[in-house]
Amino acid sequence: MQIPKRVFQLAKQPALSGFHVLASQTLAEAEASLDKALKGAARPDERLMMNARQALREQGNFLLTRMQHHFANYLERAMHTMYMDTRASLDEISADNLTLIEDDVVTRQIEIDRLVMRLRDADQPSLGRLNLMIAQLHGDGEVRERENPFRPYLLARSLHEALREAVKDEAQSKALFDTLSVAMEHCLQGYYVAIEEVFKSRGISSKLTARPSALTRAQRDRLAWQKAAGQLIGRVAAGGRADSQPAQQGQAAPPKQSRILPELQRMMQQQRNVPAGVPAQPHAPDLQEMVWNVFNQPKAARPPRHTDAPVSAPAPAAAADGQGGSALDARLKKMQQAKPAGAARDAPAPAPLDVRAQLADAASSEPDRVTIDLVSLLFESIVHDEQLPEGVRQQLGRLHVPFLRAAMLDPSMLHDAQHPARRLLDRIGTVATGITPDMACYPALEDEIDTVLDGVLERFDTDMTTFADGQRKLDQFVSTLLPRGDVGLARCIAALGDVEASSARRSDAATELGGLLNRLDVDPRIGNFVTDMWSRVLVHPGSDAPASQAMLAELVWSAQEKSTVEERAQMVRMLPSLVKRVREGLAAIGMGETVSKAALDQLVMVHMDVLGNRQPASAKAMDLDQLRAHFAAFGGVREPGQDAVSIGHAQLEAALEQRGIRAELYTDGGKSAARAADEQEWLGMALPGAGFEIAVDGRYVPARLNAVSPRGSLYLFSVKGQAAPSTFTRDALLAAMQNETLRTVEHAPVFERAVESLMAGAEALAGH
C-alpha cells in the first residue's frame, strides 16, 4: 500500500523529534522529582536515592543519546514489520525450537509491560484514535495496538534498554526506572497528538464509528481490484487491448472494475509519458498519489519526499485560459440541460465514462483534463456502488455533469466534505440506507429525489447554493414522509417536539436570568433558586407571567442585607405573602412536595441570615424600585436559542406517559472522551431517514432514524422487531456512537466510498 507507506514516513519525523523532546523532559522531571524527594523527611532509601540522582546527573546525556538510538532502531523495525506476522504458528513449534528464558529477562519484560500500561492510560484517547487510523489504513477490522509502529511499548523499551547501558548498578537502575517511568507518564501528553495530526493532515480521520463489517468489505473490494488488475495486465501482456472485454478464461471482472481499470491504466500511462520538449520530472507523483492529493488535500504543506521535488503535487486548478474554460463550461451546461426537467425520468442517464469520452478533446489544460477524468471515474464508481439501490445509483449519476461543472469552478470541493454539492450527494446516499425499496414509501422518495435533481439540473450555473437548496428540500420531504402514514410515529414526534420546546423555554429563560443576575451581587442561594426553580414558573403555560416576573425583584431584595429598621420592618411584612406565592408557583408547575419543601427551606435559611444580621453587605445593593426596573428587561424580544437542551430521563418519561406513548428511552450520556470534531461528525450522520444498527442483547438489529427534534436534543429511532420506538437524548446518542452500541449502516459516505474504490484501483495497478 504505497500511500499509507508515505503517510507513515511523514509521521516518522515528528515521532523521532517528539521522542527527543519527551526523553529530555522525562530526564528533567525525574531529576526534579528526586531533588524534591530528598529535601523531605529522612527516608530509609535516602542513600540509594542520592546515588541514583548522582548517576542520573552524570549519565544524563549518555542516557538521552542511547534512548534516541534505541527508539530510532525499534521504530524502523516496527514500520517494516507492522501487519507482518513473524511469529511461529502452533504447528511450527516443537521441542527443537523451544528455549529457556532466564528469570531476569522475564523480570525486565514485566517492568516494561508495567510502564506500557501506565503510558497507555496517560493518553488513551489520542493513542486509541491513532490505533484506529492505522487499522483502517491497512483495511483491518480489528484494532490491534501491536501493529502501531508508534505504540507505547517502543517508548518503554527504549528507556529500559538505555538505562541498563547507562547505569550498571542494579539497585540504582531499578530506582531510576521507577522514577523515570512516572516522569515519562507525566510528560507524554501531546506526543501522540502530534503524530495523529500528520495522519489528519493527509485526509485520514479516526472514524470511531467504523464498522468491522465495513472494513471487511473494504478488504474484499481491494482483492476484487487486485484480481481485475491482474486480468487486465495479463490481457495486455498477451497482446490484447486494455479496453477489450475480459477473457472468457476464468471469472470475469465485476462491471465496476472492468470499466474503471482501463481508464486508470490510461491515466497511469499518461503520467509516465512525457511529451517531447517537456523536461521530465524524476520525482513526479504517480497515479495513486495524484488521486490521493486531489481528494485528500493536506491542511498544510507536507514535507517533500525528495530534496529536489516540489512540496506536493498540485491539485487541479481552474483553467488560466478564460476562453478555454468558458467553452468547456458552455459545453457542459448544454449537456446538463439537454433533458428538460421532468421529461422521460425513466430514461437512464449517460454512463459517466461515456460522458468523459464525449469530452475527450474539450479540456484546454492539464488540470481540466485531470478533473474531468477523476470526477467521471468517481461517478462511475458511484453508479456501481452495491450499497445503494439500483434506482438511487442511476439517480446519483444524473449529478455527474453539474458536479463536474462545480469542480471546474471550485476544485477545492473535491477535498471539502462540507461543500454543498458533496453534501447533497452524500445525503441522497444516506437516506437510501434507511428508506429502502421494500418500504411502501420508497417510490415517493425516488420521486422526490428526481424532483430535487430536476431543480439542480435546471437552475445550477455558478451558484453553489443550488445544491444546498436541493438538500434542504429533500430534508424537509423526508421529515414529513415517515410520519405521514404512521399515526403513532407522528404522535411521538409531536410529543418530543413539545418536550424539547418546554425545556428550551426554561433553558433560554435561565440563561437570560443568569445574565441579569450576573450584573448584581446576589446571594448564590437566591441566584440558584431563580435560575433553577423560578425560571420554570416564569415560562410555564397558563402561569401569571407578570406577577411571577414581579417577584424576581422581591426575591433578590429579600436576600440583601437590611441595615435600617424600616427595611427590616418592610421585609417582615413582605415575607408571608412572598413565601405563599413561591409555594403556589412551585405547585403550579407540578413540582413534587419533597423538592418544593427543600427549596422553601433554603429560602427560609437565607431570610433568617438577613434578619439575624448574618448576611454580608452587597456590593451592588438596589432598592425594590431599582430591582423592578432591572428585571423589566426579562422576557423582551429576544432571538430564540438554537443549541440542544438537556432533558432528563424523568422529564422525558413523564411527558410521554402523559400522552400515552410508550418508548425505549436512552438518556445516559456517560463520560464521553470524544473530541468536538468527532461529535460533529457523528451528529452530521444522524439525519432523518439514515439507516443505523443498534446493539440489542449482544447482536446488531437494523434501525432507522425517523426524526430529530428541532434543536437536536432528541433522536427518535424505529428498531426492527420492536413495537416501541427508541428515543435518545443528544448526549446518549453521542455516547452510543462512541462505544458503537449504535452505528450507521454506511461505513463512509457515498463520496468517500467512491474515493476509496479509486484508490484501491490505483493501488492494484501500481502493484503489477
The vertex-741 CA angle with 736 and 745, nearest 5°, equals 100
Please tell me which residue, 665 or 105, carries the higher pLDDT value: 665
Considering the domain architecture, whether residues 450 and 528 belong to the same structural domain is answered as no
Considering the domain architecture, whether residues 609 and 731 belong to the same structural domain is answered as no
Least confident of 107-121, 191-205, 282-296, 733-747: 282-296
Residue 134 burial (CB < 10 Å; 0-12/13-18/19+)? buried
Mean pLDDT in residue range 291-302? 61
Considering the domain architecture, whether residues 753 and 702 belong to the same structural domain is answered as no
Query: What is residue 546's predicted lDDT score, i.e. its pLDDT?
Result: 83
Q: Which residues of 37-52 are buried (b: 16+ CB within 10 A; e: fewer)?
A: beeeeeeeeeeebebb
Instruction: Tell me how far apart the alpha carbons of residues 243 and 156 are, in angstroms, rounded to a whole number.
Output: 54
Beta-bridge mates of residue 696: 699
Does residue 303 form part of some domain?
A: no
Mean pLDDT in residue range 195-222? 62
398: nearest Cα among 454, 344, 359: 454
Considering the domain architecture, whether residues 736 and 760 belong to the same structural domain is answered as no
Domain that holds residue 563: 521-621
Query: What is residue 122's predicted lDDT score, i.e. its pLDDT?
Result: 86
Query: What is residue 705's predicted lDDT score, i.e. its pLDDT?
Result: 96
Residue type at 516? Answer: L
What's the number of domains the chain is made of? 4
Query: Residue 698, CB half-sphere, CA atoms under 13 Å: how many?
Result: 0
Mean pLDDT in residue range 37-55? 80
Average pLDDT, the chain: 82
The cell for 395 is 439517480
Considering the domain architecture, whether residues 676 and 591 belong to the same structural domain is answered as no
Query: What is residue 344's predicted lDDT score, i.e. its pLDDT?
Result: 52
State in Å, rounded, how far the first CA of the chain is from the last one: 12
Query: What is residue 467's predicted lDDT score, i.e. its pLDDT?
Result: 97
Query: What is residue 205's predicted lDDT score, i.e. its pLDDT?
Result: 63
pLDDT-derived band at 126 (thresholds 50, 70, 90) equals: confident
Alpha helices in 206-336 (DSSP H): 212-237, 255-272, 287-295, 322-336
Tell me if residue 729 falls in helix, strand or coil: strand
User: Given the C-alpha cell 440542544, which residue does it identify?
Assistant: 644
Does residue 511 form part of some domain?
A: no
Q: Does position 278 have pLDDT exceeding 60, yes or no?
A: no
* Predicted structure pTM score: 0.69
Q: Does position 98 have pLDDT exceeding 60, yes or no?
A: no
Instruction: Tell me how far apart the alpha carbons of residues 759 and 4 are, in angstroms, rounded to a whole number.
Output: 11
Q: Does position 71 have pLDDT exceeding 90, yes or no?
A: yes
Residue type at 88? Answer: A
Query: What is residue 86's predicted lDDT score, i.e. its pLDDT?
Result: 44
Number of H helices, E strands in the chain: 29, 6
Give me the CATH number covering residue 729: 2.30.30.30
Mean pLDDT in residue range 493-508? 91
Does residue 504 form part of some domain?
A: no
Query: What is residue 223's predicted lDDT score, i.e. its pLDDT?
Result: 72
Considering the domain architecture, whether residues 113 and 128 belong to the same structural domain is answered as yes
Instruction: Tell me how far apart the alpha carbons of residues 672 and 287 are, in angstroms, rounded to a whole number.
Output: 41
Q: What is the DSSP letter of 141?
A: S
Query: What is residue 89's predicted lDDT score, i.e. its pLDDT?
Result: 47
Query: What is residue 128's predicted lDDT score, i.e. its pLDDT?
Result: 85
Bridge-based pairing of strands 691-696 and 664-666 is unpaired
Considering the domain architecture, whether residues 739 and 611 belong to the same structural domain is answered as no
Distances (CA, A) of 56 to 34, 49, 63, 462, 545: 10, 10, 8, 67, 72
The answer to whether 20 and 27 have CB atoms below 8 angstroms apart is no
Bridge-based pairing of strands 726-729 and 664-666 is parallel
The cell for 481 is 414522509
Q: Does position 664 have pLDDT exceeding 90, yes or no?
A: yes
The vertex-409 CA angle with 286 and 269, nearest 5°, equals 20
List % helix, strand, coil for the chain (3-state, nearest 5): 65, 5, 35
Residues found in the chain: 768
Q: In what order do the strands lie in the sheet with 714-719?
A: 664-666, 726-729, 714-719, 699-708, 691-696, 742-744
Q: Does position 103 have pLDDT exceeding 60, yes or no?
A: no
Q: What is the DSSP letter of 95?
A: G
Q: Does position 75 have pLDDT exceeding 80, yes or no?
A: yes
Instruction: Tell me how far apart the alpha carbons of residues 581 and 572 are, in angstroms, rounded to a whole number.
Output: 15
pLDDT digits (tens, 9 = 90+) for 127-162: 888 888 888 777 666 778 888 899 999 999 999 999
Q: Does position 493 have pLDDT exceeding 90, yes or no?
A: yes
Query: What is residue 319's predicted lDDT score, i.e. its pLDDT?
Result: 43
Does residue 634 form part of some domain?
A: no
Q: Does position 663 have pLDDT exceeding 60, yes or no?
A: yes
Considering the domain architecture, whether residues 57 and 165 belong to the same structural domain is answered as yes
Considering the domain architecture, whether residues 176 and 240 belong to the same structural domain is answered as no
- Portion of the chain with pLDDT greater than 90, in percent: 37
pLDDT-derived band at 311 (thresholds 50, 70, 90) equals: very low
The cell for 380 is 462511475
Does residue 640 form part of some domain?
A: no
Least confident of 243-252, 506-515, 580-589, 644-653: 243-252
Helix (H), strand (E), coil (C) string for 467-498: HHHHHHHHHHHHHHHHHHCCHHHHHHHHHHHH
Considering the domain architecture, whether residues 16 and 128 belong to the same structural domain is answered as yes
Does residue 310 form part of some domain?
A: no
Q: For the beta carbon of residue 685, count every other beta carbon within 10 angstroms.
A: 18
136: nearest Cα among 218, 60, 58: 218
pLDDT digits (tens, 9 = 90+) for 361-411: 887 788 888 999 999 999 999 999 999 999 999 999 999 999 999 999 999
Does residue 318 form part of some domain?
A: no
The last residue of one of the domains, among 606, 621, 636, is 621
pLDDT digits (tens, 9 = 90+) for 416-430: 889 999 999 999 999
- Portion of the chain with pLDDT greater than 70, in percent: 81
pLDDT-derived band at 68 (thresholds 50, 70, 90) equals: very high
Instruction: Tell me how far apart the alpha carbons of residues 357 and 372 are, in angstroms, rounded to a whole number.
Output: 10
Least confident of 441-445, 534-538, 670-674, 707-711: 670-674
The last residue of one of the domains, among 621, 639, 657, is 621
Alpha helices in 84-140 (DSSP H): 103-122, 124-137
Query: What is residue 301's predicted lDDT score, i.e. its pLDDT?
Result: 36
Instruction: Tell me how far apart the alpha carbons of residues 202 and 297 are, in angstroms, rounded to a whole number.
Output: 7
Considering the domain architecture, whether residues 430 and 354 belong to the same structural domain is answered as yes
Does residue 393 form part of some domain?
A: yes
Considering the domain architecture, whether residues 184 and 237 belong to the same structural domain is answered as no
Least confident of 77-91, 458-472, 612-626: 77-91
Mean pLDDT in residue range 615-631? 88
Q: Does position 766 have pLDDT exceeding 80, yes or no?
A: no
Query: What is residue 448's predicted lDDT score, i.e. its pLDDT?
Result: 96
Q: Which residues of 406-445 are buried (b: 16+ CB within 10 A; e: fewer)?
A: bbbeebebbbeeebbbbbbbbbbbbbbbbbbeeeeebeeb
Query: What is residue 230's predicted lDDT score, i.e. its pLDDT?
Result: 78
Q: Does position 6 have pLDDT exceeding 80, yes or no?
A: no
